Structure 1
Amino acid sequence: MTDDSPANELNPLDRRLLRALQRDSRITNAELAREVGLSPAACWTHTKRLFERGVIRGVRALVAPEAVGRGTLVLVGVVLDRSTPESFAAFEAAVRGMEQVLECVLVAGEVDYFLRIRVRDLAAFNRLHSERIIALPGVRQVRTFFVMNEIKTDGPLPI
């Protein structure tokens, strides 16, 4: 499935499977089959097809950031000095190598990119900022926003 594929390529069964798996990806195949009204074999085949088509990109555990020493969430807006394909590519390649960066998105507006970063604390972010972020290729300006409270994160996609 490509990003420009219409959502209507998903049939009602696909949608039921996706909603159930977003609620609980640890559900057994037998439980999933029962929930969507299929035999376990048919459910497995259909779910496997969703993976093969790229509709389901993967399954992973959602880890509590505090439990692994990453309780501070920071949003960083980055403005590059040039808006060229080469400068974007160099910046993106460098960001991919930074484990603290959970997400990097190219946006339209006053900044070029937003980074979602997890660190231990303010001191850890200060080190990351001074040693890595401002040294990223093409960075002209950085705007930092410390998250005070996370209201809704990792919400399921409406299907």
Structure 2
Amino acid sequence: MTELDATDRKILRALQNDGRLSNAELAKFVGLSAAACWNRTKRLFDLRVIQGVHARIDPAAVQRPVLVLVGVVLDRSTQESFALFESAARELPQVLECVLVAGDVDYFLKVRVRDLNAFNVFHSEKILGLPNVRQVRTFFVMNEVKLDGQLLF
């Protein structure tokens, strides 16, 4: 586990708020020289504390306004069946996130599609064809209340 000091945490909070900050702006914000800030930020990337910087895109602008949460139950609970399912799920571009959970389902998939018909095709041609799928539970998102959560520390 990487030990983070107050300056590291300040850098992380600032970049979570605005990943487009220049190094000069970030250095000024956290009270470091530009060189020291660059070294700290590079260290956080090298340690994989910062795992990437991404743009948040309006799904409607790229014709993917429909968000669907899909609960998947596998037909067996073995390391091999989990590994096969996870490998196949990673290959589907419509799947934004795939998480293994405890409870009534084994996995939740977060899926973005163009419309109901596109999901119907995706469901029948891709989801049901994933390895070891026994049951699928679909939840269409009616309102996206909060999607920009940040880690608080």
TM range (shorter): over 0.9
Structure 2 Cα separation of the partners of residues 51 and 74 of structure 1: 32
Q: CA deviation at 1:76?
A: 0.2
1:157 aligns with 2:148: no
Q: CA-to-partner distance for each residue in 1:78-128, whole Å, 9 max, x for gaps?
A: 000000011001100100100000000000000000000000011100000
1:83 aligns with 2:83: no
1:36 aligns with 2:30: yes
1:113 aligns with 2:113: no
Structure 2 Cα separation of the partners of residues 121 and 46 of structure 1: 44
CA RMSD of aligned residues (A): 0.8
Structure 1 Cα separation of the partners of residues 130 and 54 of structure 2: 29
Q: CA deviation at 1:61?
A: 0.8
Q: Name the structure 1 match of 2:92.
A: 98
1:148 aligns with 2:142: yes
4+ runs deviating over 6 angstroms: none
Q: Which amino acid aligns with 2:104?
A: E
Q: Which runs of 5+ in 1 are unaligned?
A: none
1:132 aligns with 2:113: no
Q: CA deviation at 1:60?
A: 1.2
* Partner-residue secondary structure (3-state), 2:54: coil
Q: CA deviation at 1:156?
A: 1.2
Task: Count residues in correspondence.
Answer: 153
Structure 2 Cα separation of the partners of residues 139 and 58 of structure 1: 31
Give the one of 36, 55, 67 matched to 1:73. 67
Structure 1 Cα separation of the partners of residues 23 and 95 of structure 2: 33
Q: Which runs of 5+ in 2 are unaligned?
A: none
> Normalization by structure 2: what TM-score?
0.98
Structure 1 Cα separation of the partners of residues 26 and 126 of structure 2: 44
Taking only the aligned residue pairs, the percentage that are identical comes to: 67
Structure 2 Cα separation of the partners of residues 39 and 134 of structure 1: 54
1:26 aligns with 2:26: no
Structure 1 Cα separation of the partners of residues 31 and 115 of structure 2: 47
Q: CA deviation at 1:155?
A: 1.1
